[in-house]
Amino acid sequence: MDTNKEEFPVKVDDEIYGPIAMERLVSDVKSGKLTNEARFWDGEEWVPVSILLEKEDPTVWDEDIGSIPQGGPPLPTTSAWKDVNRKGRWVMIYGDHLVIEGGTVNTKDVGRIIVGEPLSGGIPIRKLVNVSFKDSNMGVVIKASSFHKMYETYSLECCLSKDDSTKFMKELKQANVRIVSK
C-alpha cells in the first residue's frame, strides 16, 4: 500500500481540515506551512505533524539539543554512566528521575519478567527508597529500589566501574538519596 496516496484529516487548534494527502502533509511540514501545533488523525489519535519529518541521522533528538553520539546514553543528559556488564545499558540522572535503560536481556531477567518486575525505566528521585552499592568482580553492582503500589518494592539494577560508581554516588548524595553500601 502506498502511504503517500493516503489522505488524513488535519487539526489546527479546533479547526479540522481535509482529508489531505500524505505527500502534501509532508511537503507542508517541510516548508513550514504546517507548524508543530498541527495534528493529523492516524486512525486512532491526533498525532503531531512534526513526526512526518524524516531525519537523516536517527540519533538527532531535536535541533536545539543536537545529536547524541552512537553508543552513547539513550537520553540527552550530562549525568550518564555506562554499565560494564551489559552492552548498551546506562544509568542516568535525567531531570528529577533516576533512569536505567538499555542493554540485552539475560537469564536472571526472565524470572523478573515473569513476576512482573521492570527491567528498565525511571524512578523519581524523591520516590527512591534507597540505592545500594555492592562491590563485585566486574565493578560495583547498583540496585535502586522504590515502592510499587502500597507494599511492593521493585528494583532496577546495573553494574558500573568503580570510578563511575563513585561519581554516581556523589550525585545521589547531593540529591539526598539514602545510600546503602555492602
Establish if 162 belongs to a structural domain. Answer: yes
Establish if 126 belongs to a structural domain. Answer: yes
Establish if 57 belongs to a structural domain. Answer: no
pLDDT of residue 164: 92
Taking the chain (182 residues) in runs of 10, the rounded mean pLDDT of each run is 66 80 80 76 74 51 47 76 87 86 72 70 85 91 83 83 91 87 72
- Closest by CA to 169, choosing from 146, 149, 140, is 140
CB 85 within 8 A of CB 138: yes
Query: Chain centroid to CA 92: how far?
Result: 10
Q: Which residues contact 142 (CB under 8 A, 6 or more apart)?
A: 91, 131, 132, 133, 157, 158, 159, 160, 165, 168
Establish if 58 belongs to a structural domain. Answer: no
pLDDT of residue 87: 85
Q: Residue 146: which domain range?
A: 66-181
Establish if 61 belongs to a structural domain. Answer: no
Grid coordinates of 170: 556523589
pLDDT of residue 52: 67
- Closest by CA to 125, choosing from 171, 164, 72, is 171
* 3-class secondary structure, 64: coil
Q: Is 157 exposed, middle or buried (0-12, 13-18, 19+ CB in 10 A)?
A: buried
Establish if 165 belongs to a structural domain. Answer: yes
- The total domain count for the chain is 2
pLDDT of residue 141: 92
Specify whether 30 is located in the same domain as 93: no
The radius of gyration of the chain's CA atoms, rounded to the nearest angstrom, is: 22
Specify whether 30 is located in the same domain as 92: no
pLDDT of residue 71: 66
pLDDT of residue 96: 85
**H-helix segments, the chain:** 22-31, 107-114, 162-174
* 3-class secondary structure, 171: helix
